[in-house]
Structure 1
Amino acid sequence: MEKKGSTKQIEKYRRNERTITWFVHGVIPLLFMLFSCESADQSPAEHWYYEFGTAYDTGAKVQTNVPNQLDSLGYQISGSFIEEEEYYTTDKHFTFWQSIPEGNYRVKLILGDSEGKSSTSVRVESRRLMLYEHNTDYGQIDTVTIIVNVRSALIHGQDSIRLKPREMGYLQWDPYLSIEFTGERPCLKAMRIERVMDVPTIFLTGNSTVVDQDKEPWASWGQIFPVFLKPNVAVANFAESGETLKSFIGERRLEKIDSLIKPGDFLFMEFAHNDQKPGSGHVEPYTSYIEYLMKFINLAREKGATPVLVTSTNRRSFDENGQIINTLDEYPNAMRQLAEKEDVLLLDLNTMSKVLYETLGVEGSKKAFVHYPAGTFAWQRDALADNTHFSTFGAWQLAKCVVEAIRQSESPLKNYLKESIKPFDPAAPDQLEDWKWTISETGSSIKPDGY
């Protein structure tokens, strides 16, 4: 039987399952960032080391020089976890939290069981997939490395991005590194977290089709993308639901990127869904749309980074012949022309998503989007039928499209793809049955901004 209680630091427990709940949301994280975060010129912690299981006194194993203002918070565990002698496991999922300064971190995970098999998946921050079904056999112990980007809304330690009210609960804006362990049988033996300054960063900008969606069952290609990369590059996903090129600039999100981006980095841009709508964010495809995209491109070039244009994913809109209707007008074509003119790498997700959806078919394509009967989830009363936003399966397929476009390019980006990646043809998509995703307990029937 699970015992429930408030969050506490890891202690030596007997071998039984515990559930520890911990809440990090609302305005508290934002206030923490505004008044407690260290400034950019302060020395961050260099590394942290933890061993897990009843054989270890984890607290005594911590190797860190955490700044004083973060000392009292330290680290915590939340969720349902089972503490065995030499590792933590779970039949659901558990999350490790570390209060930590903004930056890129190399996280080394020691996974496996000396007396059994394991299968571990890892998600960080707002459900960002970093490791998928890493399997070990009996007695096999593996060291797996991931690179995680942690950020705050602060700009130069003083001003802030103008976050939307719903963003106050996003884990990507709180002052913690959160690492969620899940899978058929995750076995976490030890973990080392180390600040790294020498890895390039891929900055993602865009809307709800790119953002790290924080609630089930919504997902985007941007939050699946990192799992395909080697542990020598970071992904900083600055996309947000409902964003346009204008609002992204007006809310100072691009200014925040400007404060961080450096030579060797990459700046991805996928905009159009919301930019085409009437209103203050509207831009015309061959004029103002191009002009605003050039602001992003020029910023990247001025900082010695590489701009990357991504044509917008199609909506799930079919004609009577089962062909995708172009609901994005001339915006994808305008981006294609801009890429050719400016010699910028183009990832044509618009074309690839058309092939993918038409291959899946009118009915089959529903599984790539948020289409669920009423009562599919405990928190869902009404049926969900969304033809813009993806399920985790759809996000997985679209992330593969992005990766395939990179793989076929001549861009140095391809050097950051894992060698194990196989070619992907959107005309031969994966089967839904092959996709495994442990449902998080935080879900919502409210559609993300944008359509």
Structure 2
Amino acid sequence: MKKIVILLLLLLPVAHLLSTVHGQVRNFDFDMTKPQPNYNEDTGFGYDRNTIAISKKQKQPMFFSVRVPEGDYKVTVTIGSHQYAGVTCLRSETRRMVIERMMTKKGELQDVTFNVNIRTSYIDGQKIVELQNREKKDWGWDNRLTLEFNGERPAVNRIRIEPNQPKMKIWLCGNSTVTDQDNEPYTSWGQILPYWFDENVSVENIAMSGLRTTSFIAQNRLAKIVQEAKPGDYVLIEFGHNDEKDSTPGSGAWYNFTYNLKQFIDMLRPKGVHVILATPTERRNFKNKKVSASHGDYPDAIRTIAKREGLPLIDLTVSTTELYNAMGDSLSKKLFVHYPANTYPGQNKELKDNTHSSSFGAYEISKLVVMGLKSNEIELVKYLRPSWKDFNPQFYDDWQSFYWPATPMNHSEKPAGN
């Protein structure tokens, strides 16, 4: 009998792993009388990123991770506490926005349900996505589902995680303006886009800083989409910022760039996938009080191929230009990474970046993307959250009302590309 008990104890970690692999529903109770452990690979769940357990006096972010296989998960978080009033901001994985700000009274509990996509570099046993060094440490490519509880007094009561089969999926292809930026103060519209959709839509962001159409293909990112995409999925493609700096033979908007976009289209269409093209977000480049175009022929090349191939087009070059002009030279800095020295720990120099978005800028541009989906009558918009309100860039949001307490992982290293 003693040997049997010892054997069962030895098998417990294996049994836990098998239950996770087979998609068992996971429930985690944050009642203060039943504290959760710190994360370790044996249990496969717990407080993560060197943060402490949530408590009545909690005034700092808390991370909680659960080891899961690659896929989509329906997550229901009960926000609130029986012990104290809370002010909670919730993000998933690599700073993907879930709740901007939720205020709960003592004893008040509110459920929030959303989808979290977990991706890995695995493709088919022969190919893998060739991750950049930064990505190898990125929460977005590991085997954990990570939730960040932030805000003035974050409060969480329960977490429920179950395998999900979203009705629709959208894959994101692009560069630093699209990717899940890992550290403050940089944020991209691809990190905010999931916020607008309910649990019926999965957003899988394969974009990465510094990429061109050529390197996206070379790093097997397109191959991963081709391998895993299902009929009816959507693939949204935004390139240009880095392609336009290509000086290799055959480069240019009407040569390699157009040819590469055609490769995307020709490889995805046989999968029954819907391709959506987007022109690149404009840079903040004011001359004589108006934004000056910086992308040369690239937006026109994208418009041309979209028309020729009969594809939906989201013209972010036009809509972001309209947004910046509406805000003006000075106020539009709030859309970008413009911060005086020492705004963030270890940031001893002023940041002045007119390409990469701040969290507020990513929020505004994500609305332009959704409006582009709506104008093209893309079926995805059936699953917009009830909180969605149509957006006109002439009537931009107040940056001071946008709530984004910083994730406590930051550096002033600029994302690759410009």
Q: What root-mean-square deviation, in Å, do the aligned CA atoms of Structure 1 and Structure 2 show?
A: 2.2
Q: Does 1:289 align with 2:257?
A: yes
**2:211 paired residue number:** 243
Residue 237 of structure 1 deviates from its aligned partner by 0.6
Q: Report if the CA contact (8 A) 1:245-1:281 is conserved.
A: no
Q: Does 1:377 align with 2:344?
A: yes
Residue 71 of structure 1 deviates from its aligned partner by 6.4
- Runs of 5+ consecutive residues of structure 2 not aligned to the other structure: 1-16
Q: Does 1:53 align with 2:31?
A: yes
Q: 1:170 aligns with which of 138, 145, 150?
A: 138
Deviations 1:251-287 (A, max 9, x none): 1111111121111211010000001113449742233
**1:410 paired residue number:** 377
**2:45 paired residue number:** 75
Could you tell me how far apart the structure 2 residues matched to 1:113 and 1:58 are?
Answer: 15
Residue 212 of structure 1 deviates from its aligned partner by 0.5
- Runs of 5+ consecutive residues of structure 1 not aligned to the other structure: 1-37, 60-69
Of 341-350 and 208-217, more deviation after overlay is shown by 341-350
Q: Report if the CA contact (8 A) 2:21-2:69 is conserved.
A: no
Q: Does 1:303 align with 2:271?
A: yes
**1:226 paired residue number:** 194
Of 389-398 and 412-421, more deviation after overlay is shown by 412-421
User: 1:147-162 residue pairs with structure 2 within 5 A?
Assistant: 147-162=115-130
**1:263 paired residue number:** 231
Q: 1:192 aligns with which of 153, 160, 169?
A: 160
Q: Find the residue that maps to 1:159 and give its secondary structure.
A: coil
Q: Report if the CA contact (8 A) 1:246-1:281 is conserved.
A: no
Residue 199 of structure 1 deviates from its aligned partner by 3.5
Residue 75 of structure 1 deviates from its aligned partner by 0.6
**2:398 paired residue number:** 431
Residue 188 of structure 1 deviates from its aligned partner by 1.0
Amino acid at match of 1:264: G
Q: Report if the CA contact (8 A) 1:92-1:438 is conserved.
A: no
Could you tell me how far apart the structure 2 residues matched to 1:130 and 1:281 are?
Answer: 44
Q: 2:283 aligns with which of 315, 329, 336?
A: 315
Q: Report if the CA contact (8 A) 1:274-1:281 is conserved.
A: no
Q: 2:303 aligns with which of 336, 341, 344?
A: 336
Residue 140 of structure 1 deviates from its aligned partner by 3.4
TM-score under structure 1 length normalisation: 0.83
Q: Report if the CA contact (8 A) 1:118-1:137 is conserved.
A: yes
Deviations 1:217-270 (A, max 9, x none): 011111111111111111111000000001000011111111211112110100
Relative to its length, the structure with more helix (as a share) is 2
**1:420 paired residue number:** 387
Could you tell me how far apart the structure 1 residues matched to 2:94 and 2:217 are?
Answer: 23
Residue 43 of structure 1 deviates from its aligned partner by 5.2
Residue 164 of structure 1 deviates from its aligned partner by 1.5
Q: Report if the CA contact (8 A) 1:275-1:281 is conserved.
A: no
Could you tell me how far apart the structure 2 residues matched to 1:199 and 1:117 are?
Answer: 36
Amino acid at match of 1:391: S
Residue 347 of structure 1 deviates from its aligned partner by 1.2
Residue 367 of structure 1 deviates from its aligned partner by 1.4
Could you tell me how far apart the structure 2 residues matched to 1:157 and 1:83 are?
Answer: 44
Of 48-57 and 244-253, more deviation after overlay is shown by 48-57
Q: Report if the CA contact (8 A) 2:78-2:159 is conserved.
A: yes
Could you tell me how far apart the structure 2 residues matched to 1:405 and 1:264 are?
Answer: 19
Question: Structure 2 vs 1, CA of residues 330 and 197 (structure 1 numbering), >3 Å: closer, same or farther?
Answer: same
Question: Structure 2 vs 1, CA of residues 54 and 158 (structure 1 numbering), >3 Å: closer, same or farther?
Answer: farther
Residue 81 of structure 1 deviates from its aligned partner by 4.0
Of 139-148 and 351-360, more deviation after overlay is shown by 139-148
**2:292 paired residue number:** 325
**1:144 paired residue number:** 112
**2:14 paired residue number:** none
Q: How many percent of aligned residue pairs carry the same amino acid? A: 36
Q: Report if the CA contact (8 A) 1:53-1:83 is conserved.
A: no
Residue 151 of structure 1 deviates from its aligned partner by 1.0
Q: Report if the CA contact (8 A) 2:60-2:154 is conserved.
A: no
Question: Structure 2 vs 1, CA of residues 401 and 100 (structure 1 numbering), >3 Å: closer, same or farther?
Answer: same
Q: Does 1:446 align with 2:413?
A: yes
**1:5 paired residue number:** none
Residue 168 of structure 1 deviates from its aligned partner by 1.5
Could you tell me how far apart the structure 1 residues matched to 2:196 and 2:388 are?
Answer: 7
Could you tell me how far apart the structure 1 residues matched to 2:63 and 2:139 are?
Answer: 12
Q: Find the residue that maps to 1:154 and give its secondary structure.
A: coil
Residue 111 of structure 1 deviates from its aligned partner by 1.6
TM-score under structure 2 length normalisation: 0.89
Deviations 1:327-348 (A, max 9, x none): 1011112212222222211111
Could you tell me how far apart the structure 2 residues matched to 1:154 and 1:394 are?
Answer: 32
**2:59 paired residue number:** 91
Residue 298 of structure 1 deviates from its aligned partner by 2.6
Deviations 1:112-135 (A, max 9, x none): 234654332211221111222234
Could you tell me how far apart the structure 2 residues matched to 1:282 and 1:325 are?
Answer: 27
The count of residues paired between Structure 1 and Structure 2 equals 397
Q: Report if the CA contact (8 A) 1:247-1:281 is conserved.
A: no
Q: 1:354 aligns with which of 298, 311, 321?
A: 321
Q: Report if the CA contact (8 A) 1:274-1:282 is conserved.
A: no
Residue 139 of structure 1 deviates from its aligned partner by 4.2
Residue 138 of structure 1 deviates from its aligned partner by 5.4
Of 274-283 and 187-196, more deviation after overlay is shown by 274-283
